[in-house]
Structure 1
Amino acid sequence: MTYEEIQTILKKETNAILNIPITDQYEKAIDLIVEYVHEKRGKLVISGMGKAGQIGQNISTTFCSTGTPSIFLHPSEAQHGDLGVLQENDLLLLITNSGETREIIELVELARGLYEQVPIIVITGNNSSVLAKKADVFLLTGNPAEVCPLDLTPTTSTTVMTVMGDILVVGTMKRINFSISEYAKRHHGGYLGDKSRNAEIRVKELNKEK
């Protein structure tokens, strides 16, 4: 692959990120996450099929590591008993580029069969889709063209979804005043564990000096 081809891919993905629509829906989504997880003591249940589901798993673990309890629920496994993980005061974050993913639509119906008022946040590339209309809050990706030469393989769309998940995570961290001390409690091993504990020690030392 040539330098120019790589640069083209990087520019297309960068532009897709910069063109994510910025709306008040992000604040509404964060409001719901804070209300249901941090005030009502529920959890954030994230779901998606295929590549979108893999992005959802990453977002879920990032939320967990930053103080917001979350799990990933596979939409197909939900139909075989895993839906039982859903409890009162939980909320759903559903990720689907088309907004028409059959398994996700079915998950909504099943979830609302258990808890009629379960709040639903949807990340989608289609604001007129079935799932966008069913959502309490929907976040539009901007529906960027994939950098895949066939315009089929989820590439740019999953990049954008990842960034949108980061926005929700960072926004929630700020709202709950998530500290380095709390981060250190959740990271006991590896580089991040060492880094967070060392940072915590420095913060304590600075506080003593004051």
Structure 2
Amino acid sequence: MEEIIRKVIEHEARAIQNIPVTKSYEKAAELIFEQVHENNGKLVASGMGKAGQIAQNIATTFSSTGTPAVFLHPSDSQHGDLGVVQANDVLLLISNSGKTREILELVELAENLHPGLPLIVISGNPDSVLAKNADSFISTGNPDEVCPLGLTPTTSTTAMTVIGDALVVSLMTKIKFTSQDYAKRHHGGYLGDKSRLQARMKK
């Protein structure tokens, strides 16, 4: 069992190291900064299934670090929730295959509601329609899943999470987000206490 665990960790570590680092990150950060911090919009993250869970995590992490963001479930968007999208928002869509039907439909619906919304895509398929329509396409490197069946989203979702973290840190740096800023958004728990302590020490 220990050998299996070790191989899983090594496999995923290699996948993270092989994520392509391109100018797309800088482009994505610029789009988010422009739409959210200059145009008073928000980041709208979406994905289906496991990718959707990663999108939700990215959205909440952005929000807690000074960049307002929401998660929009692609299926719910077809039943009224699309109304959360505004003309000054930016979409962050996650699909490993780049072919997820619900995500492709969301792009069409959002374009019909607010033409020209900036689109950031995280995917393992640079040749997909979703990737080709993106203003910024960020590749996961399309790693093989560590799942023994090669089916369950495992390594791919790890790569997605790391990419999301990279974007969050980029925005935190760009807006000069401080411990005091963090404390205002995270009052409760250990992190709330820690951020307030850091803020007091830096005064």
If the TM-score is normalised by the length of the shorter chain, which range does it land in?
over 0.9
Secondary structure in 1 matching 2:63:
helix
**2:5 & 2:179 partners in 1: Cα distance?**
37
Q: Given the alignment of the two structures, is residue 35 of structure 1 paired with residue 34 of structure 2, yes or no? A: yes
* Alignment-mate amino acid for residue 176 of structure 2: N
The answer for unaligned runs of 5 or more in structure 1 is: 205-210
* Alignment-mate amino acid for residue 14 of structure 2: N
Following TM superposition, by how much is the alpha carbon of 1:130 offset from its aligned partner in structure 2, in angstroms? 1.1
Following TM superposition, by how much is the alpha carbon of 1:194 offset from its aligned partner in structure 2, in angstroms? 0.3
Q: Given the alignment of the two structures, is residue 185 of structure 1 paired with residue 184 of structure 2, yes or no? A: yes
**2:141 & 2:63 partners in 1: Cα distance?**
27
* Alignment-mate amino acid for residue 92 of structure 1: L
Secondary structure in 1 matching 2:159:
helix
- State the partner residue of 2:141: 142
- State the partner residue of 2:14: 15
**Percent identity for Structure 1 against Structure 2:** 67
Q: How many residues align?
A: 203
User: Which digits, 9 at most, give the CA deviation of each residue in 1:152-176, with x for residues without a partner?
Assistant: 0000000000000000000000000
**2:86 & 2:26 partners in 1: Cα distance?**
24
| TM score, norm. by length of structure 1 | 0.96
* Alignment-mate amino acid for residue 199 of structure 1: Q
**1:195 & 1:180 partners in 2: Cα distance?**
9
- State the partner residue of 2:109: 110
Asked which structure has the greater CA Rg, the reply is 1
Instruction: Write out aligned runs for 1:2-81 (5 A).
Output: 3-81=2-80
Following TM superposition, by how much is the alpha carbon of 1:88 offset from its aligned partner in structure 2, in angstroms? 1.3
Following TM superposition, by how much is the alpha carbon of 1:105 offset from its aligned partner in structure 2, in angstroms? 0.3
**2:97 & 2:71 partners in 1: Cα distance?**
20
Secondary structure in 1 matching 2:92:
strand
Following TM superposition, by how much is the alpha carbon of 1:101 offset from its aligned partner in structure 2, in angstroms? 0.3
User: Which digits, 9 at most, give the CA deviation of each residue in 1:129-188, with x for residues without a partner?
Assistant: 010011111000000000100000000000000000000000000000011110010111
| TM score, norm. by length of structure 2 | 0.99
* Alignment-mate amino acid for residue 6 of structure 2: Q
Deviation >2 Å, runs of 4+: none
- State the partner residue of 1:127: 126
The answer for unaligned runs of 5 or more in structure 2 is: none
**1:201 & 1:116 partners in 2: Cα distance?**
45
Secondary structure in 2 matching 1:87:
coil
Secondary structure in 2 matching 1:121:
strand
**1:88 & 1:146 partners in 2: Cα distance?**
37
Give the superposed CA RMSD.
Answer: 0.5
**1:22 & 1:78 partners in 2: Cα distance?**
31
